[in-house]
Structure 1
Amino acid sequence: MKKEHVEQIQKAIKAIEERQIDNIFFVACGGSMASLSTGEYFISKDTAVPAFVYTSNEFIHRSPKALGENSLVILRSHSGETPETVEAASFAREKGALTIAISMEVESPLCQNAEHILHYNYKDGSDVIDGELGIFYTFLFRILKLITGNEKYKRAEKQLENLGSLIEKNQEKFKEAADQFGRKHKREKLIYTMASGVYYHQAYSFTSCLLMEMLWINSNAIHAGEFFHGPFEVTDYDVPFLLVVGEGPSTSLDLRALDFAEKFSDKVEVVDIRELEYDGIDPDLKDYFGSALSGPVLRLYADGLAEHTGHPLSVRRYMWKMEY
């Protein structure tokens, strides 16, 4: 990892150490919120520190009562220019919270509004460890180690060195299946995604940012644990589902939903996280790395749709083109 990134993470962790942190808020919009939700999942699962995820605008308007000088607020915006998130950083500082911004743009308004910056490289030839996944997971593992004292997070940080090669291996492994998915579903106007646990956030990101935003395909992210509490009534032979079977404590929820969906739909595609390559990863750390690997794998399924529909992922109707 580059020296500048090491120093940024060390300064942020030192700031956390020097304050009493009673709760942690993860604040962002869209895909950035989905990525930060991974942090909330593991903080809530592995520690007793209350953690919350907010979309930036609601964070401001709801003004959580627990937000104050003993709060840590972690914000993210890829460009650092998302207006709601920039405002959320200012709002959190006004409440006395410790604010840490994650972005690719150091000089962005978000980074200027936050006390500490975690900058990641983007499309500059850097390897994964200096990219958004490497920076975020290093920071997350440091926080978990700080709170719990558990040595496994030190091992996890060390094993992040394998992340780049694992992404390449797993994308190669799923490349053909993803292309076939695009070929089979190129005429679909609606595709549901389903997952649970930490993978639900990946399903949400895939639904909102890839299917709906980039491909203009109607969709909804269904939590596998909620499938039987309403959504399963839409299941029929011609209704497509992309179902992520996770690696972790909620796998049984995914398998139950999968069993039902495959009985009544002829269009069920499965991305089984348990089939990923985990070379160099300790068995007790698979849950953490599965969540990091699932995003790059799912991206291939959007690429497959883009290829076979002739609809580039870069095309927008409204975003960046008008005031809204």
Structure 2
Amino acid sequence: MSVANVLQTAQDQVNQILEAYKARTINRVFLVACGGSSALMYPSKYFIDRESASISAEVFNSNEFIYRNPGTLGENSLVILCSHKGKTPETTEAAKFAKSKGALTVSLMYVETAPLADESDYIVNYSWAPPGELDPHPEIANYAILYRLTMGLLYVKEGNKKYEQLLASLPHLDGIMKSIKTNYTAPGKEFAAAYKDESVIYTMASGSNYGIAYSFAICILMEMQWINSHAIHAGEFFHGPFEILDKQMPFILLMGLDETRPMEERALKFLKEHGEKFLVLDAKELDWTGVDEEMKGYLAPLALNFILRVYAVELAAARNHPLEDRRYMFKVPY
């Protein structure tokens, strides 16, 4: 399928969902998934929290979504789910549960057919590339598709113009990602050489970037590299976690472009005063040519996520520990 056809198919799927939004009242959004797919949800929750006056959003682990059984879940709810291959049992059950409550269910996945698709009202197929590889269609990658769905919701229901700004900005992601690949591979090798023997690495961010820090901590460092980690919110850093900092404790700090950046700047100041072994990835250093000024804060997580994926490839190579290695996942009953 040509690039134009791939993009058009995804946009057609999104447009169909936007039409479904028009047909019903929606006052509550539940963003439901597990693992890295759950981390995917945080930037869109941040967007809805900031931009909507009538719709609220919550992020739920798929299993807890069912067990907790939110009292506000019902016919006026939109439940957006994600599973990379559409086979995560908990997420499939969550979609089934949401439909039983009368909610509109929309699921994101990489594949065209899967159990999750069978239990969802609508699906969108996003584009995907392995960690560190350039995605041929970054404007329909998972984070971008989720923004299309959530910004599109507020466009339909509240006339929010950010959706139009998003569509105008997304085509420029390709150039940003290519620039990252060119400019961050060598620093990634340096990072890998410096951090390859660490037994623990903490990640830190805030706002729309927190999910990226969470994903790198639990999916890359813990799952794929067997390195102890924890994602620390930059605001919460000063309410307990900063006591772990010394000259030898490794941290990765993500600095975005949204309204919570002052919290990340405060954390950076403390890291410089009391630590030595920390990596700072700052979205301000990227070339955002062509991206709408009001979109930069929302799109920074997509760029920071790709930088981290480039670094992950180099870390795996330096440790001689392929990202595909697992002890338990897909290997033993769980």
**TM-score, structure 2 as length reference:** 0.93
CA contact (8 A) 2:49 2:57 kept: yes
Question: Does the residue aligned with 1:315 lie in a helix, a strand or coil?
Answer: coil
- 1:152 CA drift (Å): 3.5
User: Whose relative contact order is higher, 1 or 2, with alpha carbons under 8 Å and at least 6 apart?
Assistant: 2
- 1:6 CA drift (Å): 2.3
CA contact (8 A) 1:32 1:76 kept: yes
**TM-score, structure 1 as length reference:** 0.96
Question: Does the residue aligned with 1:236 lie in a helix, a strand or coil?
Answer: coil
Aligned pair in 2 of structure 1 residues 4, 153: CA closer, same or farther (>3 Å)?
closer
Would you say 1:191 and 2:201 are equivalent positions? yes
Question: Does the residue aligned with 2:272 lie in a helix, a strand or coil?
Answer: helix
2:81 corresponds to: 75
2:122 corresponds to: 116
Name stretches of at least 5 consecutive residues in structure 2 with no aligned partner. Answer: none
Aligned pair in 2 of structure 1 residues 218, 323: CA closer, same or farther (>3 Å)?
same
CA contact (8 A) 2:37 2:84 kept: yes
2:329 partner letter: M
1:249 corresponds to: 259
Would you say 1:60 and 2:70 are equivalent positions? no
> For 2:288, which of 278, 283, 290 is the aligned residue?
278
Would you say 1:34 and 2:44 are equivalent positions? no
- Number of equivalent positions: 324
> For 1:288, which of 295, 298, 301 is the aligned residue?
298
Name stretches of at least 5 consecutive residues in structure 1 with no aligned partner. Answer: none
CA contact (8 A) 1:170 1:277 kept: no
- 1:149 CA drift (Å): 1.3
Deviations 1:124-167 (A, max 9, x none): 98422343344333333322322331334202212211111211
- 1:123 CA drift (Å): 4.9
2:215 corresponds to: 205
1:4 partner letter: T
Where do residues 204-243 of structure 1 align in structure 2 (5 Å cutoff)? 204-243=214-253
CA contact (8 A) 1:273 1:294 kept: yes
CA contact (8 A) 1:9 1:118 kept: yes
Q: Once structures 1 and 2 are overlaid, which stretch shifts more, 312-321 or 135-144?
A: 135-144
1:43 corresponds to: 48
CA contact (8 A) 1:137 1:157 kept: no
2:25 corresponds to: 20
Once residues 307 and 123 of structure 1 are traced to their aligned partners in structure 2, the CA distance between those partners, rounded to angstroms, is 18
Q: Once structures 1 and 2 are overlaid, which stretch shifts more, 289-298 or 16-25?
A: 289-298
Once residues 162 and 46 of structure 1 are traced to their aligned partners in structure 2, the CA distance between those partners, rounded to angstroms, is 23
CA contact (8 A) 1:194 1:244 kept: yes
CA contact (8 A) 1:141 1:157 kept: no
Once residues 266 and 275 of structure 1 are traced to their aligned partners in structure 2, the CA distance between those partners, rounded to angstroms, is 21
Once residues 110 and 297 of structure 1 are traced to their aligned partners in structure 2, the CA distance between those partners, rounded to angstroms, is 30
1:304 partner letter: E
- 1:197 CA drift (Å): 0.6
1:127 corresponds to: 137
Aligned pair in 2 of structure 1 residues 152, 100: CA closer, same or farther (>3 Å)?
closer
Question: Does the residue aligned with 1:219 lie in a helix, a strand or coil?
Answer: strand
Q: CA RMSD in A?
A: 1.6
Once residues 272 and 82 of structure 1 are traced to their aligned partners in structure 2, the CA distance between those partners, rounded to angstroms, is 33
CA contact (8 A) 2:21 2:156 kept: no
2:95 partner letter: A
Q: Once structures 1 and 2 are overlaid, which stretch shifts more, 79-88 or 245-254?
A: 245-254
**Sequence identity of aligned pairs in percent?**
41
1:176 corresponds to: 186
Once residues 14 and 265 of structure 2 are traced to their aligned partners in structure 1, the CA distance between those partners, rounded to angstroms, is 38
> For 1:8, which of 13, 17, 39 is the aligned residue?
13
Deviations 1:215-261 (A, max 9, x none): 00000100000001000000111100011112111111011111112
- 1:22 CA drift (Å): 1.4
Once residues 226 and 327 of structure 2 are traced to their aligned partners in structure 1, the CA distance between those partners, rounded to angstroms, is 9
Deviations 1:26-68 (A, max 9, x none): 0000110111222111111111211100000000000000000
1:101 corresponds to: 107
Q: Once structures 1 and 2 are overlaid, which stretch shifts more, 202-211 or 245-254?
A: 245-254
1:280 partner letter: G
Aligned pair in 2 of structure 1 residues 172, 148: CA closer, same or farther (>3 Å)?
farther
